[in-house]
């Protein structure tokens, strides 16, 4: 079994997601208020985005000799909902196992060291292995469902993590907040960053579920992904 996966993103009309030159006041609300209306058991982000929420302290991890087995670690549950980070080589450090009201789950590969696992255990941060050297996102979402009971998963970006879930065919729905502005920065991050150039891959198609005008000139668009054979 796998969760129902909704990708939520705030994009300019040219599909860019970094707000560096957008000049919006109170810019977080355009992403967060619609997100809070999507029922989900967890939100998931890539390592780069999570580093906006994880510890800002400089951690030096102990060089203890204790080898920690590369097996999933599930901390006692302390919240109703979770936040999940795709962090294949263990770059996020934690002061607590919470981001706001959500309990943290780290998704790792077996490239991580024992001292890093020791750090996660010392903070009671749950972690799961999604592959030896490369992540198998199918396995990851199955583990989130089976080990944590996550039945509805919201993917909150950035572009790389959205792109890798899109490529793996794991997104069921797109929730796009379309900001009424053109960014125009060549080469900057977009809603889905999958790969360079045109290969054999075909675009993903959507069917419209709903569209709503919000904050005067923004649109909140909900699409269902059209799966192969539909
Ligand atoms: N407007 C919006 O809706 C929105 C939403 C969220 C974030 N953002 C912005 O987007 C920017 C970050 O986006 P981003 O695309 O650079 O980063 P990201 O998607 O947050 O994180 C990318 C990193 O996650 C890991 N990762 C993701 N998918 C993986 C996979 N399938 N296999 C292995 N590793 C994987 C890799 O970590 P390693 O590098 O450690 O291997 C990768 O470099 C930030 O500026 C943030 O503020 C905008």
> Which atom of ligand 1 lies nearest, measured to the CA of 189?
15
**Assigned token pair, 27:** 């810019």
Q: What is the DSSP letter of 73?
A: B
Q: Is residue 102 predicted with pLDDT exceeding 80?
A: yes
Which among 124, 150, 176 is the end of a domain? Answer: 150
Q: Domain total for the chain?
A: 2
Please indicate, yes or no, if residue 183 is contained in any of the structural domains.
yes
Mutate which of 11, 49, 91, 176 for ligand 1 pocket (most atoms within 8 A of beta carbon): 49
20 and 48 both lie in a single domain: no
Residue closest to 36 by CA, chosen among 166, 169, 177: 177
Please indicate, yes or no, if residue 128 is contained in any of the structural domains.
yes
What does the pLDDT read at residue 92?
98
12 lines ligand 1 (CB under 6 A): no
> Which atom of ligand 1 lies nearest, measured to the CA of 10?
3
Q: Is residue 229 predicted with pLDDT exceeding 90?
A: no
Q: What is the pLDDT of residues 79-101, one digit of tens each?
A: 999 999 999 999 999 999 999 99
Look over the chain and give the mean of its residue pLDDT values, rounded to a whole number: 96
Please indicate, yes or no, if residue 61 is contained in any of the structural domains.
no
- With a pLDDT cut of 70, the percent of the chain lying above it is 100
Give 47's contacts (C-beta < 8 A, 6+ positions apart). 85, 86, 87, 88, 91, 92
Domain housing 188: 1-41+157-230
48 and 127 both lie in a single domain: yes
Please indicate, yes or no, if residue 62 is contained in any of the structural domains.
no
CATH of the domain at 221: 3.40.430.10
Please indicate, yes or no, if residue 63 is contained in any of the structural domains.
no
Of all protein residues, the one whose alpha carbon is nearest to atom 14 of ligand 1 is: 158
96 and 14 both lie in a single domain: no
């Amino acid at each position: 079994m796998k969760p129902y996966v909704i990708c939520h993103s705030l994009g300019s009309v040219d599909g860019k997601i970094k707000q560096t030159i957008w000049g919006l006041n109170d810019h977080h609300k355009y992403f967060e208020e619609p997100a809070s209306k999507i029922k989900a058991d967890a939100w998931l982000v890539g390592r780069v985005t999570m580093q906006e929420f994880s510890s800002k302290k400089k951690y030096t991890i102990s060089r203890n000799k204790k080898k920690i087995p590369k097996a999933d670690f599930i901390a006692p549950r302390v919240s109703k909902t979770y936040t999940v980070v795709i962090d294949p080589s263990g770059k996020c450090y934690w002061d607590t196992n919470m981001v706001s009201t959500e309990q943290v789950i780290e998704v790792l590969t077996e490239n991580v060291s024992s001292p890093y696992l020791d750090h996660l255990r010392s903070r009671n941060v749950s972690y799961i292995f999604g592959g030896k050297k490369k992540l198998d996102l199918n396995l990851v979402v199955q583990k989130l469902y089976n080990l944590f009971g996550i039945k509805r998963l919201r993917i909150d970006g950035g572009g790389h993590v959205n792109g890798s879930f899109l490529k793996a065919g794991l997104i069921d729905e797109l929730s796009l907040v379309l900001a009424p502005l053109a960014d125009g920065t060549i080469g900057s991050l977009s809603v889905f960053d999958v790969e360079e150039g045109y290969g054999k891959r075909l675009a993903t198609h959507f069917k419209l579920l709903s569209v709503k005008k919000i904050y005067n000139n923004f649109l909140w668009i909900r699409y269902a992904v059209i799966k192969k054979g539909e």
